[in-house]
Chain A
């Protein structure tokens, strides 16, 4: 429980600071840190494969794309303009409301009481599941990834007339 608390605290702190910072690069890096924290949570929960996959995908791949996007879309001059603060208060209120609702739901719901022992679900079992009952979904995901890759390339590489620079 202490490990969980530490992980949760660090993750939430990283995410919270990331969302508050004005510097996009710092925000992104802190968010990446929070993703690492989530990976740590997975490791703590015994989902080793998912943890490493999380690091590989989020820290290795998505973070790169995010950083590239940040660099490519930096405003040409000067620091970022100030956030319009009109939305901040209602935003926090809404977020708080959602948090309250969720917490209430979690605390008031009868949750299944598992054994608590680390489940015997290793990489081999995962592989058998993926290629057995979920083979169709795996193929669909592969197709989705391919399409997404192509779509992303097309979207990002399309050069309109207005792009004179």
Chain B
């Protein structure tokens, strides 16, 4: 069971990461990037690394996404976001 969970989580992470890179919309790619973090949290938990999982959850998924979302408004020329 664990093996299959690992396999499918990896597939999910890979597809999410791929779309995060390819997406034209920066906001979308930030949110998708958060998906990579979430998948990593699941995997770290399976790999018996709860400390790393907690760190990845609060830092990789939580705070860095927040920092990105707060920061991108001032680093993009998107007209929609200016209004």
A, B from the same assembly = no
- B residues near A (Cβ < 8 Å) are none
Residues of A that sit less than 8 Å from B by CB: none
